[in-house]
Amino acid sequence: MIILNNEQGSEAWLQSRLGKPSASCFGKLITRTGKPSTSADNYINGLIYELLSQEITQGHTSDAMIRGTELEPEARENYEFITGNEVEEVGFIVDLNDTYGCSPDGLIGEDGGIEIKCPLGTTMVKYLRNPDELVKNYWQQIQGCMFVTGRKWWDAFAYHPSTPHVLVRVERDDAYIELLEEQVINACLTIKTEVEKNK
């Protein structure tokens, strides 16, 4: 893997992601059960367009996303205090061919990483009542980050300033990652072929 340490959300970070499948959107390529997603073609078309036009289309941020970004440093500090783990912040991590990647919320030691979510109150209570829901909602992204980085485990951490936190350790699922890799590589090949054909 190659770590591109541009600040997440910056213009350089957005440019580094241009036209590349990213773990946060791997759910558009593969379902939780390992089947190809019905939204794959539309997602791939968008990435092809980015490369043909050199126009960034993945930068939309909702109010909930803005809130999450603002709370993330506070959540990261809480996680470090709770676990004693030191979180290394990174930018966009790509494969050696620079064709796909992920933007982790942090790397931990040699083997781990973290996905931080700062949901609204009702969603946070859903995770408190059933922590597995947190993992299910972000399964493709979490396994995708382990696929890109080669890491063995990932902590899913949900934080809300007014409630207890939710922390779930997710182990690497090699059987699922094999299926995910197939879909990601196929997407990258399609993107490359169509961009070269339509230049």
pLDDT tens per residue, range 77-94:
999 999 999 999 999 999
pTM of the shown model: 0.93
Supply the pLDDT for residue 68. 66
Exposed e or buried b for every residue in 153-168, given b needs 16+ CB within 10 A? bbbbbbbbeeeebbbb
CATH label, 2-197, candidates 3.40.190.10, 1.10.3720.10, 3.90.320.10, 3.40.640.10: 3.90.320.10
Q: What is the pLDDT of residue 164?
A: 97
Give the model confidence (pLDDT) of 112-140 as tens digits: 999 999 999 999 999 999 999 999 999 99
27-40 residue pLDDT tens: 999 999 999 999 99
pLDDT at 59 exceeding the cut of 60:
no
The predicted pLDDT at position 66 comes to 67
Q: Is residue 74 a contact partner of residue 161, using CB atoms and an 8 Å limit?
A: yes
pLDDT at 199: 80
d(CA 182, CA 186): 6
The pLDDT tens digits for 149-158 are 999 999 999 9
Taking the CA atoms of residue 34, residue 35, residue 40 and residue 41 in that order, the dihedral angle to the nearest 10 degrees is 150
What percent of the chain stands above pLDDT 70?
94
Domain boundaries, the chain: 2-197
Give the integer Cα–Cα distance in Å for 180 and 186.
10
Question: In the chain, which ranges are continuous DSSP H helix?
Answer: 11-16, 40-53, 63-83, 121-129, 132-137, 139-149, 174-197
Predicted confidence at residue 5, as pLDDT, reads: 81
The single-letter DSSP state of residue 10 is: S
The conformational region for residue 23 under phi > 0 = left, psi -120 to 50 = alpha, else beta, is alpha
**pLDDT at residue 130, as a whole number:** 97
Average pLDDT over residues 57-68: 64
Q: Give the pLDDT band of residue 64 (cuts 50, 70, 90).
A: low
